[in-house]
Amino acid sequence: MFEATGSLKSRDCIKPARRVLKVSSALVETAASIAVAATLVGAATTILVKRNKSSEAIEAPVRICEDCDGSGVCAECRGEGFVLKKMSDENAERARLMAKNAATRYTAGLPKKWGYCMKCNAARSCSSCGGVGKLN
């Protein structure tokens, strides 16, 4: 900085320029609009939460369907859509006695015929509650 002579030069006296930050007016408007939007979103959320809580309190309690015990599946066919036609105990016993070997003795009394479920019309879901399991 200083020379050996001790004199000052003009370049040594110049101070570096100070940086000045300028805030543009667009930045202020953007910050203000973000703050307003956040306030509106918060207010809307609060209103929706209060509305949902009040509507839940008004709703009637939902009953479980007694036909399907809340499963939504047809109780008669258990959701298969068809029902096996059962033989009477007398006919099953008679068929077992008439069977010629051990394999047919076991299977002789089992139902061989089936039909579509008449309760749900082969739709597989409970006809009382529409497959939901709950009644209004």
pLDDT surpasses 80 at 125: yes
Domain spans in the chain, listed from the N-terminal domain onward? 24-58, 63-135
Rounded CA-CA distance 112/1 in Å is 113
> In the predicted model, what is the mean pLDDT of the chain?
77
pLDDT surpasses 70 at 28: no
Tokens linked to 6: 């001790």
Bigger pLDDT: 31 vs 59: 31
Tell me which residue of 119, 115, 32, 114 sits closest to 74, measured CA to CA. 119
Bigger pLDDT: 44 vs 29: 44
Residues 68-105 have pLDDT tens digits of 888 888 888 888 888 888 888 888 888 888 888 888 77
